[in-house]
A and B are shown apart, each in its own frame.
Chain A
Amino acid sequence: MPVAQGVRASQSLEAWQDPKARPIVQIENVTKAFGPHYAVDDVSLEVFQGEFFSLLGASGCGKTTLLRMLAGLETPDSGRIVIDGVDMTHVPPYRRPVNMMFQSYALFPHMTVEQNIAFGLRQEGATKPQIRERVAEMLRLVRLEPYAKRRPHQLSGGQRQRVALARSLAKHPRLLLLDEPLGALDKKLREHTQFELVNIQEQLGTTFIMVTHDQEEAMTMSTRIAVMDEGRILQIGSPSTIYEYPATRYVADFIGSVNLFDGRVTGEADGVLVIHCDEVGATMAIAHGEPLPAGAPVSVALRPEKMTVTDVKPESEFNVLRGVVSEIAYLGDVSIYHVALPNKTLVRVQLTNLARHTSSPLTWEQEVWLTWEPENGVVLQS
């Protein structure tokens, strides 16, 4: 029986882990350059039926270009795009079984909400009763029934966003592309809409590919995330994989906050690497799946919530950092401490405020020790 976990129910075997699953989208070595600048550089990835897949990255990383190539609005310089088993690389957008929700929504200003939603259905020659029925269904789905006769300029931002969603879903596409779907909404509405989008996606079973620069949004909504930088995909994985096992420094730094220490491998035992960090003068023992040769340069990534702080010197010779509390930020549920190491490096530590107390157990300028378990750190190469 599936166990409810977060927003989505987890399945016993995810589609991307099933060797027999046929991907709905295959991107094979796709490259696209604008002048001398490579927007998308030799990208390959597969997306499976029913996934909510996110392309995550800072602006200019090539994620929107990749999405536009899936929609047919840009043509790749090289490589192949296969959708539902058919090569779509050079098929114009109006012949693709794909719909897109634009960042600007791109609603037709001279048409009513109804006419906007019906636009795609009219193109495929649906009959009037069919159109009426489908438009009503879509209006119900996004809860905009009372606004059917309005023009886009008479709607609020959130309502426009829902019209754009309804219009792109009206043709029941096998694949829906979303370009920063929540980008224009304010924070509160955005959080609410995140859940609504996921619900709609699960209700319809449509495959969603979303472009976003907001890591929190990607984490909340996606089944899998591809982190992109400078036209390349750095890592593809489920939100928890990306967070707990980042593949590169960039990914570790981009998703959540992280403390990074440079060092060299000095030994290895039972899958635990011993790493010496000259910079902070500490020896760390970090669990890592594969052995690395001694002397290999690595970085150790430590999430702020994966460390503990004590005011007593621990016994262990590994995984101990001594420092002085320099900043305290009380956020209610958690507190963030900035601990200054002797070499002035600041380490960010997050502690949950379990007990209701009047004064913090730690105070400014107090000498503290940071410790962590070998499983809580991540070794990054390069």
Chain B
Amino acid sequence: MMPPPVPPSAPANPASFTVIGMLWRWLLGFTFVARVRGLAMGTVSWGRALVTAVPFLWLILFFGLPFLVVLKISFSQAVIAQPPYTPLLTWAEDGIMVLRINFQNYLLLVQDSLYWMAYLNSVRIAAIATVACLLLGYPMAYAISKAKAELRVPLLMLIILPFWTSFLIRVYAWIGILKTNGLLNNVLIWLGLIDQPLPLLHTEFSVLVGIVYSYLPFMVLPLYATLSRMDESLLEAAADLGCRPGKAFLTITLPLSMPGVIAGSMLVFIPAVGEFVIPDLLGGPNTLMIGKVLWTEFFSNKDWPVASAVAVATLLLLVVPIVRFQKAQEESNKKAEELAR
């Protein structure tokens, strides 16, 4: 009998960013199933399986299992007890096991406008912050990638340097800068640009400043990685063919740096949607964000099931569009490949 054919590896396409897609597929277990089947059929070696098992086990232990716990709680009811929710499975009389699944928490999310308003607002703020990070981060990453070789490492260090200080302290510092008689207002008054201090703190603006400030390195680093890998001779070829530098940037550099743009945007957008600390410290009573709602449900209302439902819904609402986006991208790549044949 013929040995089973080894599946051809997907053609390497520099334009598609698949790391996050792979991560999600890992989460959803597609790769795991493929590996187990590969092991059974002898197309995947044990050594390779062991190496890939390490991150997979990590994800199961620290993401998969906790997520299942949260999922379980989201289907229970809140009670004043320890723990503060009802179990899903209970023993009734005569050895009958009762499974109680409570959809009330999810129904609440749909019925009460507070939740989806908070969610939409989070997505909106995260999107604005992502665009701002991109507009600020792209020139920074571009400048670093074009800097002299001996300057590049120090410049990258400056990008990473803020991580040496606690995230919380750095966000607190912005209160000092943005408050009514804070640094920024004082400077603006001293310059004579304003007479009255501007209400900067506890607004959506201050939340955006906080998010952009905190997540900028996550935009700059992947952008730098793609820009610094770019073949300089491509720009020379463009110039040689009569393309001015500005147009060469738009037709060559920008499209080729799209993997970095997508990676950076995901790295900023996804955590920014669920951000809690920044809106809590810098935001006002009107800045409604899903992370803050979740925190309130957990710690102020002590309603763990609703909080869990919020967490699950937020995750699904983020994952599903991203996976779909990945799929669409892969399919369009595949189509382009087929067209080429």
- Given A151-B340, A154-B340: A93 and B236 within 8 A (CB)? yes
Considering only CB atoms, which chain A residue lies closest to B232 in the complex?
A106
Contact B243 A110 (CB under 8 A): no
Contact A119 B340 (CB under 8 A): no
CA A150 to CA B14, docked complex, whole Å: 15
A-B contact pairs, 7 of them (CB 8 A): A73-B239, A93-B240, A94-B243, A107-B237, A119-B238, A151-B336, A153-B11
Contact A106 B242 (CB under 8 A): no
Contact A102 B15 (CB under 8 A): no
Question: Is A109's CB within 8 Å of the partner chain B?
Answer: yes
Contact A102 B239 (CB under 8 A): no
Mark interface residues in B223-250 (1 if CB within 8 Å of A CB, else 0): 0000000010110111111111001000
Contact A93 B231 (CB under 8 A): no
Q: For B242, give its contact among A107, A120, A149 (CB under 8 Å).
A: A120
By a CB distance below 8 angstroms, the chain A residues around B239 are: 72-73, 92-94
CA A378 to CA B238, docked complex, whole Å: 47
Mark interface residues in A109-137 (1 if CB within 8 Å of B CB, else 0): 11010000001100110000000000000
Least distance between A93 CB and chain B CB atoms (Å): 4
How many B residues, CB 8 Å from partner? 25
| Residues in chain B within 8 A of chain A (CB atoms) | 11-15, 231, 233-234, 236-244, 247, 252, 255-256, 336-337, 339-340
Contact A109 B256 (CB under 8 A): yes
Q: For A119, give its contact among B12, B15, B243 (CB under 8 Å).
A: B243
Contact A150 B340 (CB under 8 A): yes
CA A120 to CA B247, docked complex, whole Å: 12
CA A209 to CA B242, docked complex, whole Å: 19
Least distance between B146 CB and chain A CB atoms (Å): 16
| Residues in chain A within 8 A of chain B (CB atoms) | 71-73, 92-95, 98-100, 102, 104, 106-110, 112, 119-120, 123-124, 149-151, 153-154, 167-168, 171
CA A157 to CA B15, docked complex, whole Å: 20
Contact B241 A102 (CB under 8 A): no
Contact B236 A73 (CB under 8 A): yes
CA A167 to CA B237, docked complex, whole Å: 10
Q: For B13, give its contact among A100, A106, A153, A168 (CB under 8 Å).
A: A153
Contact B256 A106 (CB under 8 A): no
Least distance between A206 CB and chain B CB atoms (Å): 15
By a CB distance below 8 angstroms, the chain B residues around A95 are: 242
Q: For A167, give its contact among B13, B14, B241, B255 (CB under 8 Å).
A: B241
Chain A-chain B contacts (Cβ-Cβ < 8 Å), number: 74
Contact A100 B240 (CB under 8 A): yes
Considering only CB atoms, which chain B residue lies closest to A104 in the complex?
B233
By a CB distance below 8 angstroms, the chain A residues around B255 are: 110
CA A109 to CA B234, docked complex, whole Å: 9
Given pairs A94-B243, A154-B11, 10 additional interface contacts (CB within 8 A): A93-B240, A104-B231, A106-B237, A108-B234, A110-B14, A110-B15, A110-B255, A120-B241, A123-B241, A124-B242
The residue among A107, A110, A171 with the most chain B CB atoms within 10 A of its own CB is: A110
Least distance between B16 CB and chain A CB atoms (Å): 11
Top 3 A-B pairs, shortest CB-CB distance: A120-B241, A123-B242, A106-B237
CA A344 to CA B57, docked complex, whole Å: 72
Least distance between A83 CB and chain B CB atoms (Å): 14
Contact A119 B256 (CB under 8 A): no
Contact B236 A171 (CB under 8 A): no
Considering only CB atoms, which chain A residue lies closest to B13 in the complex?
A153
Considering only CB atoms, which chain A residue lies closest to B252 in the complex?
A108
- Given A73-B236, A102-B237: A94 and B244 within 8 A (CB)? yes
By a CB distance below 8 angstroms, the chain A residues around B242 are: 94-95, 120, 123-124, 171
CA A168 to CA B240, docked complex, whole Å: 9
CA A132 to CA B137, docked complex, whole Å: 39
Contact A102 B14 (CB under 8 A): no
CA A42 to CA B237, docked complex, whole Å: 27
By a CB distance below 8 angstroms, the chain B residues around A98 are: 240
